[in-house]
Amino acid sequence: MKKHIIHSLAVTALLLVSAASYSQSAGSGYFLEGFNQRYQLNPAFGPERGFFLVIPGISNIQVDAQSSVGLSNFLFESTSKPGMLTTFMSSDVSAQQFLDGLPDAAQFTVGLNMDLFGFGFGKKNWSTSVNIKLRNSETVSLPKELFGFMKASFANGDYLIENTNINSISYLETSVTHSHKIGDNLTIGAGLKFLEGIAYADVTINEIDAKLHDSEWLVKSNGTIKASIPGATYKLDPETQAFDGIGDYNVGVPSSYGFAMDLGAEYDFKDLVEGLKVSAALMDLGFIGWADMNTFATNNNEYVRFEGFNNYDVNGDNGDETIDNITDDFNDMVKLYQTGTTDQSENVALNATFRLGVEYEAPFAAWLSFGELFTYRSGLWPYVESRTSICMSPCGWFDVTGNLGLSTMGTSLGFLMNLHPRGFNFFLAIDRLKAEFNPQYIPLHDFGLNFSLGLNFAFGSKRSDK
């Protein structure tokens, strides 16, 4: 497993094959009453019609990908070979030139959210929804100092590299969500979730202390690998007993379980300001108890002799060999050993999400409204976003919204088109679109893409008078 993870790290850093964040549903639809999946963003929001049915596999598919760096951060024009490109490891590229173009941490995120089955029903003042979905999240964070150390060779002094992390989690989520209107102004909602863990892995290298000694480095690491993968076997080096990867594994019936809950509310301030609504939600408050958690840790007092990152194909003519060399170098630099037994259980909290929304319906046009949505997601690298939306519902079966988002990952544009006549609901959304690609469709700079679509059956009369 270590080789697999470090291999992914190297590929990610050099070729931007990266991994992402927890996805739920298209945030662009938060203020659209005709958007059937709104209850997944705030449990106080019920479906538009009295009954809906999820079509397995195509009712809600969302892919979320973000990166704070791109290919241009790692490839440069060669000065010794004009007209050719070279990697940041080339002597043609100075350390300052390379590091000045990097953020404090190269962060990559990719997530998948897919509805597998579900249905909902309700009346004017209440609704209940049942849903089963697959959720996957991958996150990678590589500090600038790590790339500086790779570039340093033996020209510079000591290095302290902190907060390197790779995390992966996959699980099934079965939820029951209920919303209820109280009086004329307040609507509250809650959702209970039963979680079945499929696989979990976390690599956290808190610190790498590298000291230059003659023609080699002395490296001391502080970090852990935690993994819960049903049916997996873990290999140990026969001589040192250091963690040497993962053997064959066969993911079967989940043996890890957990619970979570969603809470939400919406208040209509029509008695004070006609058309003004305020809503809030707390999502994914819970954990998964991962069974058979295997833990591998560094010996914090052990200094490892390391010959440095060198002898790489800087022109990229033999990419596979370069990646293998980087993988071997990381294996030599960071050694981890098994701790405890192999049948431990550990509770791991989900990354909770808080949302606060304010919507104002234009007094001169009931089909036009404006919304401001604030989102905060907890975790090792908290995510904060403010999204301003213009929503238009020109008829009873068609909605469209455009929005501008400002977040910790930069600025982005989004839109959602929603068709919802009696009988079905179809939506297509891009919450985030910021990318510039090369001819091989690899992002050149920092990028963000959040794409989702879905098709549901929806019957019955509309629950809202709007």
Question: Would you kindly state where each structural domain of the chain is located, as residue ranges?
Answer: 2-462
Residue 12's φ and ψ, nearest 5 degrees, are -60, -50
Average of per-residue pLDDT across 64-79: 84
Average of per-residue pLDDT across 87-102: 85
Q: Quick one: pLDDT at residue 243?
A: 79
Q: Which of 113-117, 226-230, 338-342 has the highest mean pLDDT?
A: 113-117
Intra-chain end-to-end CA distance of the chain, in Å: 54
Q: How far is it, in rounded angstroms, from Cα 405 to Cα 374?
A: 10
Q: Quick one: pLDDT at residue 262?
A: 98
Residue 454: which of 433, 431, 429 has the closest Cα?
Answer: 429
Residue 22's φ and ψ, nearest 5 degrees, are -65, 130
Say yes or no to pLDDT of 88 above 70.
yes
Q: How far is it, in rounded angstroms, from Cα 358 to Cα 389?
A: 10
Task: Mean pLDDT check: name the lowest of 104-113, 215-224, 227-236.
Answer: 227-236
Assign 6 a pLDDT band (cuts: 50, 70, 90): very low
Q: Which of 80-84, 217-221, 284-288, 443-447 has the highest mean pLDDT?
A: 284-288
Contact 206, 223 (CB under 8 A): yes
Say yes or no to pLDDT of 176 above 70.
yes
Q: How far is it, in rounded angstroms, from Cα 119 to Cα 336?
A: 47
Architecture of domain 2-462: Beta Barrel (2.40)
Q: Quick one: pLDDT at residue 1?
A: 39
Average of per-residue pLDDT across 324-349: 76
Contact 286, 259 (CB under 8 A): yes
Contact 56, 116 (CB under 8 A): yes
Residue 124: which of 31, 48, 206 has the closest Cα?
Answer: 48
- Does residue 348 or residue 463 have the better pLDDT? 348
Say yes or no to pLDDT of 123 above 70.
yes
Assign 9 a pLDDT band (cuts: 50, 70, 90): very low
Average of per-residue pLDDT across 411-433: 90
Residue 240's φ and ψ, nearest 5 degrees, are -100, -10
- Arithmetic mean of pLDDT over the chain: 84
Residue 299: which of 344, 334, 340 has the closest Cα?
Answer: 334
Percentage, residues of the chain above pLDDT 70: 87
Q: Quick one: pLDDT at residue 265?
A: 98
Tell which phi-psi region holds residue 311, choosing left (phi > 0), alpha (psi between -120 and 50) or beta: left
Say yes or no to pLDDT of 16 above 50.
no
Residues 6+ apart with CB under 8 A from 120: 39, 46, 47, 51, 52, 127, 128, 129, 130
Please tell me the pTM assigned to this model: 0.86
Average of per-residue pLDDT across 9-19: 36
Residue 358's φ and ψ, nearest 5 degrees, are -130, 125
Q: Quick one: pLDDT at residue 317?
A: 55
Residue 392: which of 421, 371, 423, 377 has the closest Cα?
Answer: 371
Average of per-residue pLDDT across 7-26: 42
Q: How far is it, in rounded angstroms, from Cα 60 to Cα 26?
A: 9
Q: Quick one: pLDDT at residue 20?
A: 36
Contact 40, 23 (CB under 8 A): no
Say yes or no to pLDDT of 239 above 80.
no
